[in-house]
Amino acid sequence: MLANTIEFLKANPLLLALIKILIVFGVLSGIVAYLVYLERKVLAFMQARLGPMRVGPWGLLQPVADGLKLLLKEDIIPAGADEWLFLLAPAISVFAAFTVFSAVPFAGNFYVTDINIGLLFILAVSSLGIYGIILGGWSSNSHYPLLGALRSSAQLVSYEVAAGVALVGVLLISNSLSMVDIVNRQLQMGVWNVFLQPLAFVIYVIAAVAETNRNPFDLPEAESELTAGFHTEYSGFRFALYFLAEYTNMVVVACIAVTLFFGGWLQPFVGVRALSLLRFTPFVSLIGAAAFVLWLGLKSWVPLERYFFVSLAAVCVVLAALVLYPPVLNAIQGIFWFGAKVLAFLYAFIWCRATFPRYRYDQLMNVGWRWMLPLALGNLVVTAVVRYLVGGHAAATQAAWLGR
Amino acid sequence: MSVKVFLRKIFLVDLVKGLRLTFSYQRPDATYTDQYPLERPPVAERYRGAPRLNNHPETGETLCIACNLCSIACPENLIVVGWARTEDRKKRLTTFTYDLSRCMFCGMCEDACPVDALELTQDFEIASYSRKGLIWDRQALEEGPQPTRYTR
């Protein structure tokens, strides 16, 4: 039966791709919903609050409640709005955000496609998302959305340049645009790109925060100045789409950063024998999660919550036991490390939001054009020169010149 | 710009300091929120809340001698004490009405009480769905507010 299915899927690669797409889309939607929960919780803890606590145990059902609320809300199209564009704009944003994942390798053996121009594709598609914002802001026929849209277009264009140039440094090192090859190259070299291209990494991360319209660069939706920015006039499901797109974009930039700079699905210190015990990190983290959940359960007042947390801890322990089984352990290595790294990045984004105040607009532009772009260009030139001298190209070119 | 300041700017030292501060606030004991219906915030020692008519702890009979001093002391005239004479011409408390909707919790009544029968307690959950519900009779005063209490 299983063998037959595998044969059938091999004969129909499109069907296999469709299944993968469905898995990725479904899992990502869930992750994005709970990313909002994570953000609210982490922000709350950093501000000495507790965050959502009332819907479900520790507010765990809050994303469901929010989703329901948004779906049931009245759908308003403002008078004088360009109706078609108004309806289309959020869809563009979501489409662009989710399409990117087709080229992201989640593990060495799990990705939708491996395009040989993967990174180019990702940058191209993710910058399409700006259209959603601009069109949404313009078609609303309202002042604040228009101002937000203008800000966001200027900001995204400025930072896209710096981010793109910074990423070229990585391309020079890895000799490929394919996301899978970039990771494999890091495996070959035995060192993550972040140690070879620290400057490019810093520039990319800053630009990524700016591109996802997040604090401290959230000027397009600066609520104290622009009500809500480009999505002021949106309500209900369309607003939910923008929201979804924004958080998906967060995951996108985290995925790109992890793949390009932090070795994607690779386990840290993969070549060092003394640290090969790191393979058991999934087991340890599951046990840790079980202990944490148990602690939460013992702390809670409501009996139902206590049962929920205790059973969740039991599930964690069972999973941990399952993970100890060698084939399973090997199978989840890639996705585990990728997920852990992406999660760390997302956490860092939230952390930044909790810490930094918003930039003024001229400061934002100053940083973008007068610091990020020159630094990225300098990084590119230095990388290119070093690559030329070290990579063996120099000798070849010299021979060609001298021979003439 | 001195070298030190320049280096601080380059390596984003101030930003890292800020990040460290916000990170440190995540420890569980830094949380300021009380989970209100589950846990109750401690009120101040001399907080004046819901009134209570005290009973004798052993016999369970009311301590109130129906002297009417609280009613006289009350600036809002919201206390009505009802009494009857017993056969040996002693005053005995029959009814006691306390209109919380007009009370400003000044505490004059408990100060006036010669036998510590009337007392403003630390209970603060005195909200009601109706105005009538805020007028407490003798039974309500003796029992006090009965909110659900949760235990771990």
Out of B22, B30, B31, name the one closest to residue A354 (CB). B22
What's the complex ipTM?
0.71
Closest partner residue to A48 (CB to CB) among B15, B32, B39 is B32
pLDDT tens figures, A340-390: 899 999 999 999 888 888 888 888 888 888 888 898 899 889 888 888 887
Residue that is last in its domain, among A12, A28, A62:
A62
Residue B24 reports pLDDT greater than 70: yes
Same domain, A107 and A174: yes
Is a pLDDT exceeding 70 seen at residue A95? yes
Instruction: Say whether pLDDT at B75 is over 90.
Output: yes
**pLDDT score recorded for residue B14:** 85
Question: How much is the pLDDT for B104?
Answer: 92
* Chain B partners within 8 Å of A298 (Cβ): 152
- Domain span holding position B115: 51-143
The overall average pLDDT reported for chain B is 87
Task: Report chain A's mean pLDDT, rounded to a whole number.
Answer: 83
Residues ≥6 apart with Cβ < 8 Å to A365? A154, A158
Residue A52 shares a structural domain with residue A187 = no
Burial A168-194 (b: 16+ CB within 10 A, else e): bbbbbbbebbbbbbbbbbbbeeeebbb
Task: State the nearest Cα–Cα gap between A49 and chain B, in angstroms.
Answer: 5
Q: What is the mean pLDDT of residues B84-91?
A: 87
What percentage of residues in chain B have a pLDDT greater than 70?
Answer: 99
Residue A19 domain boundaries: 1-62
What one-character DSSP code corresponds to residue B48? -
The verdict on B150 touching A (C-beta cutoff 8 Å) is: yes
Query: Does B56 or A401 have the greater pLDDT score?
Result: B56
In this complex, is the C-beta atom of B10 within 8 Å of any C-beta atom belonging to chain A? no
CATH number for the domain harbouring residue B138: 3.30.70.3270
Q: How many domains does chain A have?
A: 2
pLDDT at B37 over 90: no
- Do A51 and A82 lie in a common domain? no
Total domains in chain B come to 1
Q: Does B151 touch chain A (CB under 8 A)?
A: yes
Same domain membership, residue A79 and residue A8: no
Please check whether residues A52 and A81 belong to one and the same domain: no
- pLDDT above 60 (res B47): yes
Q: Read off the pLDDT of residues A131-171 as tens digits, 9 standing for 90 and up.
A: 888 888 888 888 888 888 888 888 888 888 888 888 888 88
Q: Helices A198-211 and A373-390 meet at what angle, rounded to 10?
A: 140
Amino acid letter, residue A28? L
Instruction: Find the mean pLDDT for residues A188-197.
Output: 80
Together in a domain, A45 and A77: no
Q: Position A255: which residue type?
A: C
Q: What are A249-302's pLDDT values in tens digits?
A: 888 889 889 988 888 788 877 767 666 777 778 888 888 888 888 888 888 877
The residue of chain B with its CA nearest to that of A300 is B152
Chain length of chain B: 152
In the block, tokens 């995540």 appear at: B26
| Residue A364 near residue A219 (C-beta atoms within 8 A) | yes
> For residue A68, how many other CB atoms are within 10 A of its CB?
11
Both A195 and A167 in a single domain?
yes
Q: Which of A39, A40, A47, A347 to mutate to test the interface with B (most CBs of B within 10 A)?
A: A47
- B62 vs A109, more confident: B62
Return the HEC string of chain A. CHHHHHHHHHHCHHHHHHHHHHHHHHHHHHHHHHHHHHHHHHHHHHCCCCCCCCCCHHHCCHHHHHHHHHHHCCCCCCCCCCHHHHHHHHHHHHHHHHHHHHHCCCECCECCCCCCCHHHHHHHHHHHHHHHHHHHHHHCCCHHHHHHHHHHHHHHHHHHHHHHHHHHHHHHHHCCCCHHHHHHHHHHHCCCHHHHCHHHHHHHHHHHHHHCCCCCCCHHHCHHHHCCHHHCCCCHHHHHHHHHHHHHHHHHHHHHHHHHHCCCCCCCCCCCHHHHHHHHHHHHHHHHHHHHHHHHHHHCCCHHHHHHHHHHHHHHHHHHHHHCCHHHHHHHHHHHHHHHHHHHHHHHHHHHHHHCCCCCHHHHHHHHHHHHHHHHHHHHHHHHHHHHHHCCHHHHHHHHHHHC
CA distances from B149 to A202, A313, B40, B44, B59 (A): 52, 27, 9, 20, 27
> Residue A404: what pLDDT?
47
